[in-house]
Amino acid sequence: MNTTLRRLSTVVMAMFVALMVSTTWIQFVTAGSLNEDPRNFRNIYSELGRDRGPIVVGGEPIVTSEPVDDDYKYQRTYSGGDAGAASVYAPLTGFFAVTGTYTGLERYANGYLGGEDDSLWLDRLQNLITGEEAQGSSVELTIDPKVQKAAWDALGDYTGAAVALDPKTGAILAMVSKPSYDPNTIAVHSNDEATTAYNKLLNQNPQVNSVDGSERFSPYGPTVNRGINATYPPGSTFKLLTAAAAVEYEGMSPDTQIPAPDVYQLPGTTGDGGSVQNFGGETCSATGEMTLKDALRISCNTAFLGLANEVGKDGMQQMFEDFGFTESIDIPMSTSIGAYPGLSDTAKDDSDARIALSGMGQGDLRLTPLQVAMMSAAIANDGDLMEPYLIKSVRDSDVELVSQTKPSRYKSPFSSSTADALTEMMIAVVNDGSGQGAQIPGVEVAGKTGTAEDDPRSPTLWFTSFAPANDPQVAVAVVLENEGQSTNESTGGALASPIAAQIMQAAISK
């Protein structure tokens, strides 16, 4: 072989090697990132050109893929195209858009819905052999449609959220977020229309009430699931955690006498700037002392400020962490974490004053409605907190069971005896305390109210509860975002507790 041929052969071999390397790099190394690139419209055509699996609630599909005569082949449809019905579930289902944006279950259960999850390898192999079009799997939710509708109707025109859990399993029975939206407007097969509809929603943060009457808007728009991704000051619902720490760590009982002054001076402070009064300047006890049970029953602020200070920073932070509030949970959507002094970037100040203030649920403290519902669920389940989950089961295109969620314990923040003490106190709150609006005829209810200052916005109102108290079937949290005023007629007990009662009644009468 002469020199010219050798050189030519070397060049040709180098070209083949370069081709093999580049092909291997594209098909194997960068395949994932290329598929996920929003500019890759081949992937969008492939996704929408597939019979995507339905999302099912109570045996009925609430999201389907309907055959259409266009380039995408299938139209993703929510509640049959009914805007009102689709809005009830939109914060859960999310949407799947031709822009490459998908949210909620459409995103976090995409592997199942698109038929590409690792557990579906046999189906994919069969499709490869037979040449049949891939089909997605159906995803059945834990949501009870009766409880979901009760929560939706009860919230009415309020801005806020409601979450209902089965305390014995962690199954999410209802999750409503308002205001909501119609995902059908984003699932259209026009890139421009989908983008316009989505951007419009991003700029629709609802106006909320303010203390001084100034124009204020919620930091959360309709596409945010307020049940798991909006955080609020929990107000007096957090007194449940404070009481739990006092019973678990300090050996207190419902009958333990604790200080309940008219005014509490925060540790390390002087003057009016560090003094805190009870709601409306009321007196909790003429003697300046009362039982822990009575303090929770009437929601005495000064008593719980002192209680948190007695438990101390270590105890309060420990209980917060033992609930798992510093961790995100995949339900499968990722939940937001809570904020507590010293345990988060947004609440770094863990001075004694801040710890004391957290005792009544104020300060830098923030929780999601799901987390507040988890407090009641742990008490209802003898101190064992079950991991919340939204997907009940997955079935392939042949209706064969692919997976089924098994309930699992998430945390055990306190003992069963502490749970019993808290239950006794929460029953008193509903029977003849601040939460009487949650009473259900013939059913013993345990609950706790909350009215959280959120300056310059108006107070955020809460109620959390479980029922029946002797055999809990449902644990609930309701939040009304900035819907309160500094009057007895607009507290968590007055406005939020009746909403919780309607949700609990729907759950226990099913």
pLDDT in tens, 353-366: 999 999 999 988 99
Token digits of residue 179: 């205001």
| Distances, alpha carbon 469 to alpha carbons 143, 246, 268, 399, in Å | 22, 22, 40, 38
Range scoring the smallest mean pLDDT among 23-27, 59-63, 152-156, 503-507: 23-27
What pLDDT, on a 0 to 100 scale, did the predictor assign at position 359? 97
* C-alpha distance from residue 459 to each of 266, 276, 453 (Å): 21, 16, 4
- What is the pLDDT, as a whole number, of residue 471? 96
Computed over every residue of the chain, the mean pLDDT equals 90
Q: pTM for the whole thing?
A: 0.90
Is beta strand 55-57 parallel, antiparallel or unpaired with respect to 138-141?
parallel
* Closest C-alpha to 438, from 363, 369, 495: 495
Helices 301-322 and 239-250 pack at an angle, to 10 degrees, of 80
**What is the reported pLDDT for 114?**
85
* pLDDT band with cut points at 50, 70 and 90 for residue 346: confident
Alpha carbon distances (Å) from 168 to 49, 58, 241, 334, 394: 41, 19, 20, 22, 22
Give the pLDDT band of residue 485 (cuts 50, 70, 90): confident
**Interval 211-246: pLDDT, tens:** 888 999 999 999 999 999 999 999 999 999 999 999
pLDDT at 121: 44
d(CA 383, CA 374): 11
SS3 label, residue 443: strand
Instruction: Return the structure tokens found at 290.
Output: 């009362």
Per-residue pLDDT reduced to its tens digit, 382-418: 999 999 999 999 998 878 888 999 999 999 999 999 9
pLDDT tops 90 at residue 33: no
Residue 10 has pLDDT above 90, yes or no: no
Task: Evaluate whether 234 touches 361 at the Cβ level (below 8 Å).
Answer: yes
Residue 258 and residue 9: Cα distance in Å, rounded? 92
Q: 478 near 500, Cβ under 8 Å?
A: yes
Answer yes or no: is pLDDT of 381 > 60: yes
Residue 76 has pLDDT above 70, yes or no: yes
Least trusted range by pLDDT, from 5-14, 18-27, 121-130, 466-475: 121-130
Q: Work out the percent of the chain whose per-residue pLDDT is above 70.
A: 90
Q: Which position has the higher pLDDT, 253 or 50?
A: 253
Tell me which of 230-244, 274-288, 457-471 is least confident. 274-288
In the chain, domain spans: 3-36, 229-508
**The pair of three-digit structure tokens given for residue 488, joined into one six-digit string:** 């007895």
Is residue 134 pLDDT above 90, yes or no? Answer: no
Give the residue-averaged pLDDT of 36-65: 77
Whole-number pLDDT of residue 19: 78
Work out the pLDDT band at 117, boundaries 50, 70, 90. low
Quick check: 128 pLDDT over 60? no
| Residue 450, CA atoms < 13 Å, CB-side half-sphere | 36
Q: What's the topology of domain 229-508?
A: Beta-lactamase (3.40.710)
CA–CA gap between residue 363 and residue 47 (Å, rounded): 46
How much is the pLDDT for 12?
A: 78
- The separation between the first and the last C-alpha atoms of the chain, rounded to the nearest angstrom, is 88
CB neighbour list of residue 363: distance below 8 Å, 6 or more residues apart: 233, 341, 347, 354, 357
307: confidence class by pLDDT, cuts 50, 70, 90? very high
pLDDT digit string (tens) for 147-198? 999 999 999 999 999 999 999 999 999 999 999 999 999 999 999 999 999 9
Share of the chain above pLDDT 90, in %: 74
Active site residues: 236
What would the pLDDT profile of 80-103 be if each residue is shown by its tens digit?
Answer: 999 999 999 999 999 999 998 999
Q: How far apart are CA 198 and CA 47, in angstroms?
A: 20
DSSP 25-89: IIIIISHHHHHH-TT-HHHHHHHHTSBPPPEEETTEEEEEEEE-SSTT-EEEEEGGG-HHHHHHH
Q: Which residue has the higher pLDDT, 47 or 121?
A: 47
What does the pLDDT read at residue 20? 76
The predicted pLDDT at position 42 comes to 54
313 has pLDDT over 50: yes
pLDDT at 135 over 80: no
Q: Regarding predicted confidence, which is higher, 38 or 444?
A: 444
